[in-house]
Every structure is written in structure tokens, then in C-alpha cells.
Amino acid sequence: MRTVLMLVLACATTPVLAAGSAQTMTQRAAGARPASTAGIPAALYDQTSNNSGWGFWAQDQEPANAAFSSEIADDFIVPAGGWRITSITTIANAYNATQKLVVSPGPMNVRILGNTGGNLPDEANVACGPYSALPINWNPTTEVATITLPAACELAPGHYWLALSNRLDYGIEGVTYNPWLRDGVTNQPAVWRQPGNGFGSGCTNWAPLQSCNGPWQPANPDLLFSLIGETMPVALQRFEVE
């Protein structure tokens, strides 16, 4: 007798500064696991453990300071079935160097990129985005910044990079955006780039944080972040069992 079954399978479809001030790379200091249930928003990926207490610059500055604009990225692996990402969290603050105050970060530029053969973000493979100046919900106590995507980012299984840059003017008060780093490495170390080479780091294209030859090299190699969403929706596939 032939029995027909219907099984459910996952389917993936020259800067402006205050007198006496200067921009530098030195910033104020303040286990990843995939998991979710289909259809229920949850932490698909959580890399927020082991906060080092140190941050690094990742800021989209005003035109007068464009040479100092920079971007940070860290990677993650999407398992079989695929993910639908709806929001992202990171731990960060902005620091007013003139008044020595921690202030709220600005809106966030977000991209999700594929992976190159050299284990770096693939600029030719933008999986989701670019999303420009997305509003953030920032908790001043925990310094957790939540970014809700304007549309769900659907990712098939594979290796990806989350790239972030905060849209924030440096201005005359020296406001800098500082995403916190973590001790230890999951997958690949975080990478950084500053196309205008304002700090003279030499990292005008993506390179591991610890390889940049600037005035300050971080000892902490990973970015604190998490991805919220659900596993990909399911489709029915028909097969027969004799």
C-alpha cells in the first residue's frame, strides 16, 4: 500500500573641532547561540556576553568630518532553514568629549552583507539594506540600543556580516559613538573600516580591528550584538512512502 504524506520543510527564500580638541581613536569604556521557534520572535543569535567595558568608533559623521566616518561589522552563521530578522540590538553609547557626558546615540545605518572567501564582509553581496538612519530605542541604564528594521530581513543558510555605523555629528563638542566590544571571539573577529583614513590607521577597507595601525588598537576582538526574529516560514513538500 502506498501512503502519501505531507511533511513540513523550512524554506529560505579637515575636521570641524572645538578649540584645543582633536579626534582620536581612543574611546571611553562603559557566547553566541542560535535559537528560535518558528513564528515566534526570539533571539536568533546572541553575542552579548563577556562585555569588555571598552568601545570603538563606528560613526557616520557630518560632511566636514567625512574623513573620520567609519563602520564596524561582525559575523554570524544562519543555520539550515534560514532566518527572518526583524530587529537588532547592540550595546553602545555616545560620549560628549567637551562636557564629559554620556548621551544618546543617533540613528543607525545598518547593512547585512555576505561573506567573502577571505572571511570579510562582501561589498558585492548586500543581503539586506542598506538601511539609513534607522531610529533606535536606547536604554540609558543598560545602554542597549534596539534597532527595528523597516522590513524583515530574510536570510537563507550561510555566513553573513552585520555592519553598523551611527549617524551622528561630531560637531564642536566632540560627540563620538562607541559600540561596546566583547572579550573572546565567536566565528571571525569583528572588522572595521574608515575609507577616508582620518585616523591614519590604514584600514580604508575591511580589516580585523586588531590589525589596524592606528593610535589605539583594541585588545577586545568582537562586537556585542544580537539578532531578533524567527526561523523562516514553512512550505509543504509532498513525497511518497511505500
Cα 45 to Cα 48: distance, rounded to the nearest angstrom: 9
The range of the structural domain enclosing residue 129 comes to: 3-241
Q: pLDDT tens digits for the chain (242 residues)? A: 433 322 223 333 333 333 334 676 544 444 333 333 344 568 999 999 999 888 888 999 999 999 999 999 999 999 999 999 999 999 998 988 887 888 889 999 999 999 999 999 999 999 999 999 999 999 999 999 999 999 999 999 999 999 999 999 999 778 888 888 998 899 999 999 999 999 888 999 999 988 886 555 567 789 999 999 999 865 533 334 55
Q: Is 155 helix (H, G, I), strand (E, B) or coil?
A: strand
Number of domains forming the structure of the chain:
1
The whole model's pTM is what?
Answer: 0.81
Beta bridge partners of residue 67, listed in sequence order: none
| Helix, strand, coil abundance in the chain, percent, nearest 5 | 5, 50, 45
